[in-house]
Structure 1
Amino acid sequence: MDQAIRVLKKKMNREGMFREMKKRKFFEKPSERRRRKKAEAVRRLRKKLRRAVAAGLG
C-alpha cells in the first residue's frame, strides 16, 4: 500500500500535478496570469543564456 502511494506521488510530481494544484488554489486574474507567464519566459531565457555563456567559457 505504501509503495503504491509513493509511486503515485512520484508520478504526480513528475507530471507537475502538485504545482498545478497549488497554482489553482486561488483564482488568478488574466492580467496577473499574463504578467506571470512573461516573467517566467524572461527567467527561462536568462537561464538559457547563462548556461550558454558558461558552456562557451568552460
Structure 2
Amino acid sequence: MLVVVRDNNVDQALKALKRKMQREGVFREMRQRRAYEKPSERRNREKGEAVRRARKAARKAAQREGLIPGPKKKVLARPGMPVRSTGA
C-alpha cells in the first residue's frame, strides 16, 4: 500500500492511509484476529456473511427491476432557496 506525502503534510497522508486500510478491510481483520475463533464459529460467521450478501444482492436486483422502491433520495436545501415547513 503506497501513500504519497505531499508538502510534508503527514496528517493528510495518515488520513489517506487510514481510508485505504478501511476500504481494504484491514481493521476488521485485525479485530477478528485478536482472539482465537473456533472453526465452528468461523463457519457460522462466514455463512451469515454470505446470507447478508445474498439478501443485499437480491434487494438491489429487485430495486433495479422496479419490484420494490429504491432508497429515498435526500433533498438538500440550496443556498438562497427558501426552506418550506411541513405545516403542522
Q: Residue 15 of structure 2: which of 6, 20, 24 is its match?
A: 6
Which gives a bigger RCO, structure 1 or 2 (Cα 8 Å, sep 6+)? 1
Whether 1:26 and 2:26 are equivalent positions in the alignment is no
Q: Residue 62 of structure 2: which of 19, 29, 53 is its match?
A: 53
Tell me the TM-score normalised to structure 1 length.
0.84
Count of matched residue pairs = 58
List 4+ stretches of structure 1 deviating above 4 A: none
Code of the aligned partner of 2:41? E
Tell me the TM-score normalised to structure 2 length.
0.59
Deviation of 1:11 (Å): 2.0
Q: Which residues of structure 2 form unaligned runs of 5+? A: 1-9, 70-88
Deviation of 1:9 (Å): 1.3
What root-mean-square deviation, in Å, do the aligned CA atoms of Structure 1 and Structure 2 show?
Answer: 1.3
**Greater Rg, structure 1 or structure 2?**
2
Q: Which residues of structure 1 form unaligned runs of 5+? A: none
Looking at structure 1, the residues matched to 28 and 34 of structure 2 have their Cα atoms a distance apart, in angstroms, of 10
Deviation of 1:20 (Å): 0.7
Percent identity over the alignment? 57
